[in-house]
Each structure stands twice: as structure tokens, then as C-alpha cells.
């Protein structure tokens, strides 16, 4: 019998928090080492990006499955297995003799790291009273913000001190060992297990559908987003993925009708609250995707040197961590629906400030902090609490995993949309420069497609006054693309508000 007293859960929550932080830290670390890793194996940047893409695919595929396994076979047991897999994957990455081996190791890491947050969240929902769940879930959510700050900086320190990217992954081993040992000693099992067999066919349909859908999304062309849907290669995977997921729904209905244990319960998928929570999860993925491009914004629009651009993400990441904690407090004090609405309002204000007001460090700081707080509130407690309210206790893990999977889809889709805005803006640099400065300076944008190429050409302009004018013109052109991106992110925030208001009105009617 699990003790539901708060004191009895201090150790488990602490261990889950450390586990979430460890997995999030690794994402930030590899972003620092990506170029170094690519060079060490002699692979191109496009091929090297698969070390991140495959990790994302692994998380999207595994989280609903891991969530279901934790419901059926015990959360302590699955937590220790997940941490062990993450540690083994980290060791294999560090020892990789080839890039293909590294990709396999990254997939193992994804299977291990992706489920830690789900298991921790479902443990909290099943052990703590409802008026204390928000703070604990907010604590887990806050770790994402902190790890986003510490990861890249820690990666840079390890790389500069050791001169080897391998040590960036080896630091996970003592943490994983600590979590496995103390998880065994300090976490009491919250699910005794089930005698029902695993839904193998449902698992295969889910995995195939998500893999095909996510791969199809990653193959979309950001420079011709709508047209790329007509590409047979993309269309085949998108149709195959959607078809597999539709087939999953019908198959799970039959599984549930005959009394077996579906990977995702059909009765859960048809619940209005769960459906709308998944919509919020998709929107939160787009919300989060808007944050990814902020270092590019400060470099291309505010003209901050590239080596300093990443640090400008720190206030926003810290704000998201604070927002996650605040979201937990608000969820406990008021409720999850009101907290969702509040997150949308704060996020909308932050994102809309970028195109209409941000022009320097102070205005950037205010807008980015507001966007970060809104994001943190939404990613923390309220969505997990809504999932917990829509799912039975023996379905909470798979429900949380499905929410995480949908968020990953949003986090994969929306960066492609945003990149299209930025690319479209960049294409206007050459005609704009030619119109303002003549053909000679207009060729600046012809010297290379990357931002670094264009900026290096601008630095070669001998006349300082002209150079500054060209730089300001290029920044204003880039800003048009970013404005479209931030406006889209603001619209997503308004949609979050709309869904929240609908849930609020619906809850009032059903009382």
C-alpha cells in the first residue's frame, strides 16, 4: 500500500526531478558538440543532424509505449529501466567507433530519456492529493528550463577543458547509477502489475504511424512548405502515418470491446477533455518551437555576435523554469483550466511584443521573459493535470505519453513552418540591397546562402558608414521573416486561450 502522505514522496519526486534534469541536460550538451561530432566522423551537417532527428523520433515513438508499460508493470521498475537505458546509451555514444553506431546509441538514449518525465508525472498523479500535484509537476517542468540554460554552457566548458566531446556523455553515467540505486531503495512501487498481455499489434501500428508521420514532417521543405506536400516521397510517409494512426483507433476499439488491454484506450481517445488536452499539447509544441529561433533573432536582427547569441536565451530559459513552478502553484490554487488561459495570455503578450516593440536589449529581455513564463506555465503542471483528470489511474502513463508524443509532433512541424518564414525573408536581401545601394553591394547576398557568409561579406565593406547602413538594411529584412514567425506563435497562444475558455465554459455547464 502506497503512503500518499507528502513526506513519503520527497525522495521519489527528488529522484524523478534529477532524472528529468539529466535527460534535458543531454539535449543542450549535444547542441554544443554537434559540429565537433560531425567533424570527428567526417559527416556533413545534413547527415550529422540525424543525431538530433533520430533522438526526437525515438522519444515520439517510445513515450506512449513506456507510459503504458509503467501503468502495467510498475513505475519504479520502469523508471530504473529507463535510467539504465539512458546510461547505457550515453556510454555507447561516448564509445561510438562510427557515426552509424552513434545514431543507434542515440536512439537507445531516446528510449531511456523520453520516458523519465512520463513516469515521474504519472507517479505524482497517482500518489499525491490533487491540491499538491501542481507544485510537484511544476517542479518537473521547471527542470526543462534549467537544463536548457545549463546544458549548452556545461557542454562548452567540458569541451574546452577536456578537448573531447566524449566526456559530455560520460558525465551521465554516475548520475544514472545514483538514480538506479536510490530508485530501488527509495521509490515504492505504485502499480503491482497486470496479467493481461501487451497489445503487440496496437504497439506496432502506433510505432509505424508515428515513425512515418514524423519522418514525413522532417522531409517537408521549409522554403516551399505547401508545395512540398505534393512531393510523392513526403506524401507517401504522411499518408502512411495518418493511415496507421486511424487504423490504430479502430483496432483499439475492438481490443477494448473484447476486454483486452489496449496500448491507448479507445474510451480515452474519444473523451472530449483528452482530445482538447492533446490539442493544447500540439499547440505547446508550436509555442516551444518559437523559442528555438530566438538566438538567431538576436544575431540577425539585433546584430549580436554569433558567439554571444546563445547566451541571450538564458533569461527566457530561466523564465520558463520559473513559469513552470508558477504554473504548478496556480494549478493547485485555482485549477488547470484557468492556468492554461493565463499561460496563453502571458505568451501572447510576449510573442506579439517582438514584432511591434522589440528593438534593443531591454525590450528584448521583457518580451522574451514574458514568452518564457507563458511557455513554462503551459509545459508544467496544467496539461498533465488535465490528462490525469481525463484518464483512469491505470491509463495515466499511456495518456501522458500520448500527450508528450503529440507535443513532439508540434515541435517537429512548426520549426519547418517558421524556417519557411525566415528563408522567405532572407530571399529579399539581394533585391533590397540592389534597390538601395546598387548592383555592387547587392551581390553581398550572392556570396553565400548562410547568415555567416552574408555577415562576413558585409564586414569586408571598406566604408564604415556604408557598412553600417547595409547591416541595418539586412537586419530590417531579416526582421520581416521573424515578425511573421512571432505573429504565428502569438496566434498559437490565442488558440491556447480559446481552448482554455471552451474548457472553462464546458466545465461550468456540467456542474
| pLDDT, tens only, 55-98 | 888 888 888 888 888 888 888 889 999 999 999 999 999 999 99
**What are the CA-CA distances from residue 172 to residues 8, 86, 90, 143, 224 (Å)?**
27, 8, 7, 16, 40
Per-residue pLDDT at 492: 93
CATH T-level topology, domain 1-190 = Growth Hormone; Chain: A; (1.20.1250)
pLDDT bin (cut points 50, 70, 90) of residue 441 is: low
d(CA 368, CA 87): 34
Q: How many Cβ atoms are within 10 Å of 270's Cβ, its own excluded?
A: 11
**What are the CA-CA distances from residue 127 to residues 11, 355, 370, 452 (Å)?**
13, 44, 33, 52
Torsion of CA 78, 80, 81, 86, to 10 degrees: 120
Task: Judge whether residue 483 has pLDDT over 80.
Answer: yes
pLDDT bin (cut points 50, 70, 90) of residue 442 is: low
Cell of 185: 531503495
Per-residue pLDDT at 503: 92
Lowest mean pLDDT among 125-129, 144-148, 428-432: 144-148
pLDDT bin (cut points 50, 70, 90) of residue 437 is: low
**More confidently predicted of 345 and 480:** 345
Which range, 256-270, 283-297, 300-314, has the best average confidence (pLDDT)?
Answer: 256-270
Task: Judge whether residue 161 has pLDDT over 50.
Answer: yes
Per-residue pLDDT at 4: 45
Lowest mean pLDDT among 81-85, 107-111, 246-250, 472-476: 472-476
Cell of 26: 543531454
pLDDT bin (cut points 50, 70, 90) of residue 15 is: very high
d(CA 431, CA 436): 9
d(CA 228, CA 240): 16
**Residue given cell 500535484 in the structure block:** 133
| Cα distance between the two ends of the chain | 33
Angle value at C-alpha 63, between 58 and 67, nearest 5 degrees: 155
Per-residue pLDDT at 2: 43
Burial (CB < 10 A; 0-12, 13-18, 19+), residue 418, is buried
Q: What is the CATH code for 271-511?
A: 1.20.1250.20
Amino acid at each position: 500500500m502506497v503512503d500518499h502522505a507528502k513526506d513519503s514522496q520527497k525522495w521519489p519526486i527528488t529522484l524523478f526531478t534529477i532524472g528529468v534534469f539529466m535527460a534535458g541536460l543531454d539535449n543542450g550538451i549535444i547542441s554544443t558538440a554537434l559540429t565537433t561530432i560531425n567533424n570527428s566522423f567526417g559527416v556533413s551537417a545534413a547527415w550529422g543532424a540525424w543525431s538530433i532527428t533520430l533522438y526526437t523520433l525515438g522519444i515520439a515513438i517510445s513515450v506512449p509505449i513506456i507510459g503504458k508499460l509503467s501503468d502495467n508493470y510498475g513505475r519504479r521498475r520502469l523508471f530504473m529501466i529507463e535510467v539504465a537505458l539512458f546510461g547505457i546509451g550515453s556510454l555507447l555514444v561516448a564509445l561510438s567507433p562510427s557515426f552509424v553506431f552513434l545514431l543507434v546509441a542515440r536512439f537507445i538514449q531516446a528510449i531511456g530519456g523520453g520516458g523519465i518525465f512520463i513516469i515521474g508525472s504519472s507517479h505524482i498523479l497517482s500518489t499525491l492529493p490533487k491540491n499538491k500535484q501542481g507544485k510537484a509537476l511544476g517542479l518537473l517542468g521547471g527542470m526543462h528550463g534549467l537544463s536548457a540554460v545549463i546544458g549548452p554552457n556545461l557542454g562548452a566548458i567540458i569541451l574546452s577543458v577536456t578537448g573531447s566531446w566524449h566526456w559530455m556523455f560520460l558525465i551521465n553515467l554516475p548520475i544514472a547509477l545514483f538514480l538506479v540505486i536510490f530508485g530501488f531503495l527509495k521509490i515504492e512501487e505504485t502499480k503491482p502489475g497486470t496479467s493481461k498481455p501487451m497489445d503487440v499489434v496496437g504497439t506496432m501500428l502506433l510505432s509505424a504511424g508515428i515513425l512515418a508521420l514524423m519522418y514525413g514532417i522532417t522531409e517537408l521543405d521549409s522554403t516551399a512548405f505547401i508545395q512540398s506536400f505534393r512531393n510523392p516521397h513526403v506524401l507517401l510517409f504522411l499518408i502512411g502515418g495518418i493511415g496507421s494512426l486511424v487504423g490504430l483507433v479502430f483496432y483499439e476499439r475492438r481490443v477494448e470491446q473484447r476486454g483486452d488491454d489496449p496500448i491507448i484506450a479507445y474510451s480515452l481517445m474519444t473523451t472530449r477533455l483528452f482530445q482538447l488536452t492533446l490539442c493544447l499539447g500540439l499547440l505547446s509544441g508550436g509555442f516551444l518551437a518559437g523559442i528555438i529561433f530566438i538566438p538567431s533573432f538576436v544575431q540577425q536582427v539585433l546584430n549580436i555576435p554569433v558567439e554571444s547569441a546563445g547566451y541571450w536565451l538564458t533569461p527566457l530559459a530561466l523564465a520558463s523554469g520559473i513559469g513552470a513552478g508558477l504554473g504548478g502553484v496556480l494549478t493547485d490554487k485555482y485549477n488547470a483550466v484557468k492556468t492554461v488561459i493565463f499561460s496563453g495570455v502571458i505568451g501572447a503578450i510576449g510573442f506579439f511584443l517582438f514584432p511591434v516593440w522589440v528593438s534593443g536589449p531591454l525590450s528584448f529581455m521583457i518580451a522574451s521573459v514574458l514568452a518564457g513564463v507563458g511557455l513554462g506555465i503551459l509545459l508544467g503542471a496544467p496539461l498533465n493535470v488535465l490528462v490525469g483528470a481525463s484518464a483512469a489511474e491505470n491509463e495515466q502513463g499511456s495518456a501522458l505519453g500520448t500527450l508528450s508524443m503529440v507535443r513532439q509532433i508540434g515541435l517537429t512541424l512548426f520549426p519547418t513552418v517558421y524556417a519557411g518564414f525566415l528563408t522567405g525573408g532572407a530571399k529579399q536581401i539581394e533585391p533590397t540591397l540592389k534597390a538601395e545601394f546598387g548592383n555592387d553591394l547587392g551581390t553581398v547576398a550572392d556570396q553565400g546562402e548562410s547568415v555567416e557568409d552574408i555577415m562576413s561579406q558585409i564586414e569586408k565593406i571598406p566604408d564604415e558608414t556604408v557598412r553600417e547602413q547595409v547591416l541595418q538594411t539586412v537586419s530590417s529584412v531579416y526582421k520581416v521573416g521573424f515578425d511573421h514567425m512571432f505573429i504565428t506563435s502569438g496566434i498559437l497562444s490565442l488558440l491556447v486561450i480559446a481552448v482554455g475558455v471552451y474548457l472553462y465554459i464546458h466545465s461550468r455547464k456540467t456542474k
